[in-house]
Amino acid sequence: MWLRFLVFVLCGLTFVATKTSCSTPQKRRFLLRITETNVSMRPTAGPNTVLNCLVVAQDGRTHLELRRQEFFNGRATLVTYEGILNARELDALRHILDAATVRSLPSFFEPTIPMAVDSFHVVTGKVSREGSLQQIGYFQWQGQGPKNAASAQHNWSQSAAAMKPLVTWFRSLKAMYPWKRVSNAKSGVCGES
């Protein structure tokens, strides 16, 4: 019982750490900052915690961080990449971000922690708008969910549907783009120094 409680507390702390990993503002203005996090509280064949973070600057420069952690033994890895989107790729991203369904999304409402989940998946994004910053995202889980109000859960469901094109774009860019691996010294771009 105590071990399960400790694991849930650690899960909550991991979520807080990963949730904020792309939230520190940078001096260089960005167009998009997006994170996708998957955490499993059960033994898995791969990492228990996966965090992918992408920052896209207004001029198309990109910074990608891939974190993997074996939650039960604490070992984590970080691999960092950079690239530059061409004008067509940048226009495609702007088209996704400017869709009415994305522009009208409610602000991301964080889940209440600690929570007794078996696994969770969270996607958060910050989009630079004219003079403001739009914070979007959703939270999905398996097991007993967070104690948030039904309205937060409804917003997460709506956001997941509206953000699907953005998440698909992010995953395909991460998988197929000609990335250049760089030193992890620049990992502060995603919010961790």
How many other C-beta atoms lie within 10 A of the C-beta of residue 14? 20
pLDDT in tens, 142-173: 888 788 878 888 899 999 999 999 999 999 99
pLDDT reading at 193 higher than 60: no
Question: 77, 68 in Cβ contact below 8 A?
Answer: yes
pLDDT in tens, 86-137: 999 999 999 999 999 999 999 998 898 888 888 899 999 999 998 899 999 9
Q: What SS3 string covers 37-78? A: EEEECCCCCCCCEEEEEEEEECCCEEEEEEEEECCCCCCEEE
**Would you state the pLDDT for residue 168?**
96
Which domains are assigned to the chain? 2-21+29-188 (3.30.1560)
Token reading at 66: 């891939």
Q: What is the C-alpha to C-alpha distance for residues 116 and 4, in angstroms, rounded to an integer?
A: 9
Q: Is 141 helix (H, G, I), strand (E, B) or coil?
A: strand
